[in-house]
Amino acid sequence: MIRVSVLYSNKPGVRFDHDYYRDKHMPMVKQRLGSHCSHYAIDKGISGVAPGSAPPYVAACHLFCDSLQGFQTAFGPNAAEILADIANYTDLEPIVQINEIVVGETGVD
């Protein structure tokens, strides 16, 4: 299984519409990826490590997919539409990283 993480840096004056992202953009992405994406999670930055510090990212999402090939197969034909929608919720350029999930649970009792 892989996780596609999309991160949005927190910068002064940043515009990010969390409601649009949650209610419109990410459901559209999930629909376009279809069965190649089992689920997704959205994070809203609230703090950095130090008390009272700003979060390094204003938002992030994580797409969980069975394989890199499956993700690329589904994303490719829909990339233009998905990328064009970014302007509707932010003026930031997303940072994307694709990871292989090595451990999904800690197993700690």
* CA–CA dist 24, 103 (Å, integer): 30
For each of the domains in the chain, give its residue range(s) and CATH number, in order of start.
2-100 (3.30.70.100)
Pick the closest to residue 31 from 69, 81, 66 (CA basis).
81
For residue range 44-79, what is the model confidence (pLDDT) as tens digits?
999 999 999 999 999 999 999 999 999 999 999 999
CB 21 within 8 A of CB 29: no
Place 109 in a pLDDT band, splitting at 50, 70 and 90.
low
Mean pLDDT of the chain: 95
Output the pTM of the full model: 0.90
* The pLDDT of residue 99: 97
The 8-class DSSP code of residue 90 comes to B
